[in-house]
Amino acid sequence: MTYSIPKDFLWGGAVAAHQLEGAWQTDGKGPSIADVMTAGANGVPRQITDGVKPDKFYPNHEAIDFYHHYKDDIKLFAEMGFKSFRTSIAWARIFPQGDEEQPNEAGLKFYDDLFAECHKYGIEPIITLAHFEIPYNLVKKYGGWRDRRVIDFFIHFATTVFKRYKEQVKYWMTFNEINNQTDYKEQFLMATDSGLVLEPDDPESEALMYQAAHYELVASALAVKIGHEINPEFKIGCMLNVSPLYPATCKPEDTFQSLKAMQRRYWFGDVQALGHYPRHMEAFFQDNGLRSDITAEDRVVLKEGTVDYIGFSYYNSTTIAAQENNPEFHFVGPEAIQENPYLTTSDWGWPIDPLGLRYSLNWLADHYHKPLMIVENGLGAKDEVTAEGKIHDDYRISYLKAHIQAMKDAIEKDGVSVIGYTPWGCIDLVSAGTGQMSKRYGFIYVNRDDEGNGSNKRLKKDSFYWYQKVIATNGEDL
Ligand code: P53
């Protein structure tokens, strides 16, 4: 056992189909929930419209047109030395309506070609099955994941792609940031995670969230089981959004609130990694009359389908305080969030906390005793292109440098097992939260603005050369 970054470490980058592919109706693709989301702005939420409206702008429809640029883009990833590339399969390319029997061959073919292109350069694809892109028909016809039948549709999709890409893809994840919906009053998070389109004050939203999440967890566990039958070499992970919740002060109530909030936000990981609901959740359901449809068969499936590794995103920590009107320390939303005076923030108000990544790695290792993969991390920032076509993104380099150092500390000093690091939006793409292009994460700049204008030309930022060096030295030279 060595306490250093492994030789075969999966350095790479991460994206999601709906945020970069574009070509939303090409080769038979059906619309997904992402295709009915308008562009928001910093602090302005995206709207979810009832179908596609002709007078609205939907940034994901064209995105950065990766669908037609993927060969050149993967060549650039290879030039940076990527060992891995995390993307998702757009469910609605394979099953345009979500509930049909026969898959769309043209959609399957696109991913054959994409994965072949990765392997040409020795890049290992890491594939998310559901990344905020449930077919829109499943939202309209079944109400999204509130309906148990969606498990079958998802499993049909998962089985189809597991079989098709059995030889091309080894690393999979089931549901992206499955725990975002903890914030059940946030329309966007409910829609993206579960295809639940609700009014913010819907009195049923909490119950619906627990029901939808349960069906997703069952679907996730079934997918793990089936995937391992199709290819025992598959490594199938979960994917959690990890933002450790710090207490605002050492007041016992704040500290206890932060602990309860951690339980409420991360129990999804317990189910996926350990195979059962933690007792605190069972007690919470009972205490609050939340009676989901959870069968004895479901519980067996959950036990049999535990994940091989823990994939997670880390952008920031969150600091919260106890609320006087909440004596039982139930889940608290944005109202409980406090400014952390020890941290600076990004232009979008996200705290910057590299030590929080080391904290998260330790916490996950302690809870789940499974290998960890950091499948998203990064800084969304505005970039300027100089007259010479350069992008001097030293702010991004310093964010990533500090976070990679924190990961190294966790590996070397804390003995945490980490198998990969795929920073988010390795090429600029459409922001999930805001729909903006100007919230950029990439090593590669894409000429496109928030209104959808631009040449789509790609440019290498300073961080491109920096990350190339990081990978070449296996993280030695930051
Ligand atoms: P954007 C909310 C909170 C944390 C991460 O986010 C989130 C979200 C949803 O916006 O999403 C993840 O683009 C997600 C990616 C997303 C990325 O973080 O809002 O897995 O799809 O783009 C960054 O800046």
Domain boundaries, the chain: 10-473
Q: Which residue from 131, 29, 20, 36 is spatially nearest to 77, judged by alpha carbons?
A: 20
Spatial distance between the Cα atoms of 180 and 239, rounded to a whole number of angstroms: 10
Helix (H) or strand (E) holding 87: strand 84-88
Reduce the DSSP state of residue 419 to 3 states and report it: strand
Which residues, 6+ apart, have CB-to-CB distance to 180 below 8 Å?
Answer: 186, 189, 192, 193, 241
pLDDT at 1: 56
Spatial distance between the Cα atoms of 176 and 20, rounded to a whole number of angstroms: 16
Ligand 1 neighbourhood includes 46 CB (under 6 angstroms):
no
**Ligand 1 center to residue 392 CA distance, Å?**
24
pLDDT at 2: 74
Phi, psi at 135, each rounded to 5°:
-55, 135
pLDDT at 200: 81
Ligand 1 neighbourhood includes 431 CB (under 6 angstroms):
yes
- Summarised one tens digit per residue, pLDDT across range 299-328 is 999 999 999 999 999 999 999 999 999 999
Q: Which residue from 406, 340, 349, 347 is spatially nearest to 377, judged by alpha carbons?
A: 406
pLDDT at 99: 98
The CA-CA-CA angle for residues 16, 21, 22, to 5°, reads 125
Q: Which CATH architecture has domain 10-473?
A: Alpha-Beta Barrel (3.20)
For residue 71 the two structure tokens come to 């060969």
Sheet containing 318-320: order of strands: 245-247, 318-320, 337-338
Within 13 A of 354's CA, how many CA atoms are on the CB side?
Answer: 15
**Ligand 1 center to residue 132 CA distance, Å?**
10
Which residues is 458 bridged to in the sheet? 446
Q: Whose CA is nearest to atom 13 of ligand 1?
A: 431
Ligand 1 neighbourhood includes 422 CB (under 6 angstroms):
no
Taking the model in full, what pTM does it have? 0.98
Ligand 1 neighbourhood includes 353 CB (under 6 angstroms):
no
Q: Are 88 and 78 spatial neighbours (Cβ–Cβ below 8 Å)? A: no
Q: Are 437 and 448 spatial neighbours (Cβ–Cβ below 8 Å)? A: yes
> What are the CA-CA distances from residue 27 to residues 23, 35, 74, 127, 302 (Å)?
8, 16, 21, 21, 36
Ligand 1 neighbourhood includes 241 CB (under 6 angstroms):
yes
Q: Whose CA is nearest to atom 4 of ligand 1?
A: 241
pLDDT at 364: 98
Q: Which residues of the chain have pLDDT under 70?
A: 1
Q: Which of 245, 431, 440 to probe ligand 1 with, by most ligand atoms within 8 A of CB?
A: 431
Q: Which of 133, 177, 186, 216 is catalytic?
A: 177
Return the number of other C-beta atoms located less than 10 Å from residue 384's C-beta. 9
**Ligand 1 center to residue 81 CA distance, Å?**
25
- Verify whether residue 177 is a known catalytic residue: yes
Ligand 1 neighbourhood includes 175 CB (under 6 angstroms):
no
Q: Which residue from 189, 160, 164 is spatially nearest to 175, judged by alpha carbons?
A: 189
**Ligand 1 center to residue 276 CA distance, Å?**
27
Q: Looking at the predicted complex, does its ipTM rise above 0.85?
A: yes
Q: Which of 316, 424, 437 to probe ligand 1 with, by most ligand atoms within 8 A of CB?
A: 424
Helix (H) or strand (E) holding 245: strand 245-247
Amino acid at 335: E
- Verify whether residue 304 is a known catalytic residue: no
Q: Are 162 and 225 spatial neighbours (Cβ–Cβ below 8 Å)? A: no
